[in-house]
Amino acid sequence: MDRKLGTFLGVYTPTVLTVLGVILYMRLGWLTGHLGLLRILAVVFLANSITVITTLSFSAVSTNIRVGGGGAYYIVSRSLGIEIGGAIGLPLFLSQALSVTLYSFGLAESLRIVWPAVPVAAAAFVIVLLVALISLPGARLALKVQLPLMGLVGLSLLVLTLGALTKQAGAIEPPPPPSGEIGFWAGFAIFFPAVTGVMAGLGLSGDLRDPSRSIPVGSLAAVLTGFVVYAAFPVLLSLGAPVESLREEPLIWTRVAILGPVLVLPGLWSAIFSSAVGSILAAPRTLQALARDGLAPRFLGGRTGRSTELLPGILITLVIALGAVVLGDLNRVAALVSMFFLTVYGTTNIVAAFEALSGDPSWRPRIHVPWGVNLVGGLACIAVMFLISPLAGLVALAAELILWIVLSRRERTARWGDARRGLYENLLRWALIHLARRTMSARNWRPHVLVFAEEPLAELDLIRFANWFSQGRGVVTVCRLVVGDLLAEERPDIPELQREMQEVLDDQRLTVFAEVDMVSEVVDGIVGVAQANGMAGLASNMVMVGWPDDRVLRVRFLETMRRLEVLNKSLVIGRIRPRHLFPPESEERTIHVWWGGLQRNSDLMLLLAYLLTRNPGWRNAKVRVMSIASTELMKVQTEEYLKKLIPQIRIHAEPRVIIKPKEMRVRDLIHRESAQAEVVFLGLATPEPGQEEEYAERLDTLAGDLPTVFFVKNASLFIGELLGNGEPAEIPPE
């Protein structure tokens, strides 16, 4: 798709013009007069709080993934699935299309101020056609048309401010008291549609050059602009007009502002017209995104990404908008439209909460919002729906529920057991069945670690690191292999050994699973257990072992690595000093990731370092990406590459490139630079057959006196993609 729009034109302009609309001009003074100044300010603060939370929610998601066309639909469908995305997206498209009609009717009715005999339906019909014609050349030209309209809105705000301050040159009157005719929540319901335009810019996500930057910056700027205006103008109106006029004159602005209707009405018309333009720009893009996901006719999706492919969607939007004009009275439709928008906003908040709670390593947004705040925003949107119209809210939710059922086509009914264990087993079965149907992707990848420990009590440090790497989200299984024959008369009690082992791990407060397996030989047993581990798509993807003292066993481990690689099981060999004591948490910790070698291990090493820092006790640890260069030119190139890559993958790390002196060996350089590091990650290559013993000696020498070293062999399905969101992180061969 031709992405040309920037932050100001593509996000800020359509959003701020949608927020500053008809409520500002024709209802804010009336609400101020009836609710009183303090109550209307409370309404403004509460409504904008919901809006700000919603904006933060979709901004967080947009900084974590590259948002494609479709805006809110794209965010919901990529986080909660096609079924829920479609249940939200189809009503969203219809709401955007009908909004064109609603805004056109609002503009037509406002023309009665200067032309009382204007035929409203005919005028609305013409306005819809005009809005469609403006959108045909493309979003960029249509948004440029909005720039002078935004100037007229700004001018109307300025003349009202000057008029209010001029009229209050004398004695200051007390703020207007409540009239008692309009309750707080009734006034809130009337005001809230004023701030429901926060996703106007998000709907143009497919046309933005840099959505992850433009969406949060432009949307937050527009929302804050709207908040300042809506908070300031009740004060200005109460200063510039008597209480009776505020309550009785819908367009009190024309009496307060300098030059009155001459400058205010163009601002009003510009705001309403711009809202209609924003809706007709967003609707076909939502429809196009639905078509590309198979939820609308394919011909609407397009293939090349050119703006001309939006023409069928624009025509469909135009037909719906014109058809709604024929209906005449759209009051009930207007309430339903607001409900659909609110469900989208609420779902977007829930998406952000869901992503934060999921614990996926891929959830690394540049804007962090506590999941509780997102959840409160989602629940607040549902509450507002029923405050505005309980009936319309129920209709909207029922319609979306029916759509979800149709799209999901799920006809299974779970048979719940009447005992607690039965309930748990049915839930587990349900989860495994649905997990098996979901394709694994790089963004969903998390470490499920299989740790082999001969004596768990003696290898607690290795198990702790495995638990830290999983960050309490993946499954960690600690396996003890017992050499023997299952048919022998004198054989150990496997269940008893497993129970004792689990007790030891529980006493150490390690959330891991214990497993004891009897094998005929240790190294072959590692491959057999790793191959059989897991079910229904939930299986170990990383094997961890400690660095053995036995030279023969070291060689066998390296031989095993080839077979684990075929199974797509990454291998991590930990060389940890016995009974390794960590420094007090007040001391600074450093983690070194050595970026080099001939294998594609760096993405897994850096991801493990990041996951380690997400655990208590390691949160203040500094991650340094270390690299060796042979020349000054290579150093500059590597530094530039790392400084570009690290912000893109949203991991706080400090790049450090060292030029190796000609007389110094690589291992000596690593020992010198990482002597004080708490943890050092080094890549693990696959030695040629017959060279395992020599390679084992090199690794032992490379680890040297370093306190904690992890040799990492990345054999996952997503080599080079683990730091992205389903797309390669552009990590070149090391």
Q: Is 605 helix (H, G, I), strand (E, B) or coil?
A: helix
pLDDT at 559: 86
How far apart are alpha carbons 545 and 705 in whole angstroms?
19
> Domain of 472: which CATH number?
3.40.50.12370
Q: How many whole angstroms from its chain centre is CA 209? A: 19
Answer whether residue 730 is part of any domain: no
What are the b/e assignments for 480-491, b being 16+ CB within 10 Å?
bbbeeeeeeeee
pLDDT above 80: residue 100: yes
How far apart are alpha carbons 547 and 572 in whole angstroms?
10
Q: What is the mean pLDDT of the chain?
A: 82
Scan for tokens 């429901």, then name that residue: 196
Answer whether residue 511 is part of any domain: yes
Least confident of 269-278, 533-542, 700-709: 533-542
How far apart are alpha carbons 429 and 425 in whole angstroms?
6
pLDDT at 414: 32
> Domain of 300: which CATH number?
1.20.1740.10
Answer whether residue 720 is part of any domain: no
Tell me the per-residue pLDDT of 686-723, one tens digit each, with 9 for 90 and over.
Answer: 888 888 888 888 888 888 888 899 999 988 876 766 77
pLDDT at 584: 55
Give the pLDDT band of residue 233 (cuts 50, 70, 90).
very high
Tell me the per-residue pLDDT of 318-363, one tens digit each, with 9 for 90 and over.
Answer: 999 898 887 765 555 666 777 888 888 888 888 888 777 766 677 7
- Is 107 in the same domain as 226? yes
The 3-class secondary structure across 459-525, one letter per residue, is HHHHHHHHHHHHCCCCCEEEEEEEECCCCCCCCCCHHHHHHHHHHHHHHCCCCCEEEEEEECCHHHH
pLDDT at 572: 92
How far apart are alpha carbons 545 and 540 in whole angstroms?
14
Question: Which sign does the torsion angle of CA 715, 716, 719, 723 carry?
Answer: negative
Tell me the per-residue pLDDT of 379-414, one tens digit each, with 9 for 90 and over.
Answer: 999 998 888 888 888 888 888 888 888 877 644 333
- Is 429 in the same domain as 506? no
Mean pLDDT over 484-513 rounds to 85
Answer whether residue 296 is part of any domain: yes
Question: 327 vs 98, 105, 121, CA distance in Å?
Answer: 11, 12, 9
Helices 184-191 and 371-388: angle between axes, nearest 10 degrees = 100
- Is 332 in the same domain as 467? no
- Is 430 in the same domain as 527? no
- Is 675 in the same domain as 610? yes
Comparison of pLDDT for 476 and 581, the residue scoring more: 476
Please compute, for residue 21, the number of CA atoms within 13 A of its CA located in the half-sphere on the CB side: 29
DSSP state for residue 10 in the 8-state scheme: I
Answer whether residue 634 is part of any domain: yes
Helices 37-62 and 371-388: angle between axes, nearest 10 degrees = 130
Token duo for residue 139: 């979003």
Token duo for residue 150: 């935004």
- Is 419 in the same domain as 564? no
Mean pLDDT over 635-648 rounds to 84
Residue 158 lies in domain: 7-408
Tell me the per-residue pLDDT of 581-626, one tens digit each, with 9 for 90 and over.
Answer: 555 555 678 999 988 744 578 888 888 888 888 888 788 889 898 9
Percent of the chain past pLDDT 70, that is, above it, reads 89
Give the neighbor-by-neighbor strand order of the sheet with 654-659.
513-519, 476-483, 449-452, 542-546, 570-576, 708-713, 679-683, 590-594, 622-629, 654-659
pLDDT above 60: residue 489: yes
Closest among 157, 145, 105, 191 to 264, alpha carbons compared? 157
- Is 429 in the same domain as 450? no
pLDDT at 598: 45
pLDDT above 90: residue 229: yes
Scan for tokens 């370093």, then name that residue: 706
pLDDT above 60: residue 259: yes
Answer whether residue 689 is part of any domain: yes
How far apart are alpha carbons 345 and 379 in whole angstroms?
10
Scan for tokens 């050092």, then name that residue: 680
Bridge partner list, 320: none
DSSP state for residue 581 in the 8-state scheme: P
- Is 683 in the same domain as 561? yes
The structure's pTM equals 0.73
Q: What residue type is assigned to position 352 of the chain?
A: A
- Is 69 in the same domain as 176? yes
Answer whether residue 724 is part of any domain: no
Phi, psi of 623 (to 5 degrees): -100, 125
How far apart are alpha carbons 276 and 322 in whole angstroms?
13
The 3-class secondary structure across 332-389, one letter per residue, is HHHHHHHHHHHHHHHHHHHHHHHHHHHCCCCCCCCCCCCHHHHHHHHHHHHHHHHHHC
CB 192 within 8 A of CB 42: no
pLDDT at 726: 43
- Is 420 in the same domain as 402? no
The 3-class secondary structure across 110-124, one letter per residue, is HHHHCCCCCCHHHHH
Answer whether residue 327 is part of any domain: yes
How far apart are alpha carbons 613 and 653 in whole angstroms?
11
> What sections of 522-655 are H helices per DSSP?
522-532, 551-566, 602-613, 632-649
Question: 692 vs 562, 666, 687, 718, CA distance in Å?
Answer: 11, 20, 6, 26
- Work out the burial of residue 217: count CB atoms within 10 Å of its CB; fewer than 13 is exposed, 13-18 middle, 19 or more buried: middle
Q: Which residues contact 394 (CB under 8 A, 6 or more apart)?
A: none
Q: Which residues contact 505 (CB under 8 A, 6 or more apart)?
A: 456, 463, 478, 512, 514
Pairing outcome for strands 679-683 and 590-594: parallel
**Do you know the residue count of the chain?**
734
Question: 36 vs 71, 379, 435, CA distance in Å?
Answer: 38, 27, 55
Least confident of 235-239, 274-278, 416-420, 479-483: 416-420
pLDDT at 733: 38
pLDDT at 319: 92
Token duo for residue 215: 């969406």
Tell me the per-residue pLDDT of 414-460, one tens digit each, with 9 for 90 and over.
Answer: 332 334 454 466 677 777 777 777 777 667 778 889 999 888 888 88
CB 258 within 8 A of CB 166: yes
Closest among 53, 95, 61, 96 to 80, alpha carbons compared? 61
- Work out the burial of residue 298: count CB atoms within 10 Å of its CB; fewer than 13 is exposed, 13-18 middle, 19 or more buried: exposed
- Is 255 in the same domain as 395? yes
Phi, psi of 543 (to 5 degrees): -105, 130
CB 525 within 8 A of CB 490: no
> What sections of 81-210 are H helices per DSSP?
82-110, 120-135, 139-167, 184-191
How far apart are alpha carbons 216 and 56 in whole angstroms?
7
Closest among 154, 150, 155, 160 to 270, alpha carbons compared? 150
- Is 456 in the same domain as 423? no
Q: Is 12 helix (H, G, I), strand (E, B) or coil?
A: helix
The 3-class secondary structure across 246-265, one letter per residue, is HHHCCCCHHHHCCCCHHHHH
pLDDT at 369: 86
CB atoms within 10 A of CB 93: 28
pLDDT at 424: 60
Total number of domains in the chain: 3
pLDDT above 80: residue 481: yes
pLDDT above 50: residue 314: yes
How far apart are alpha carbons 167 and 183 in whole angstroms?
29
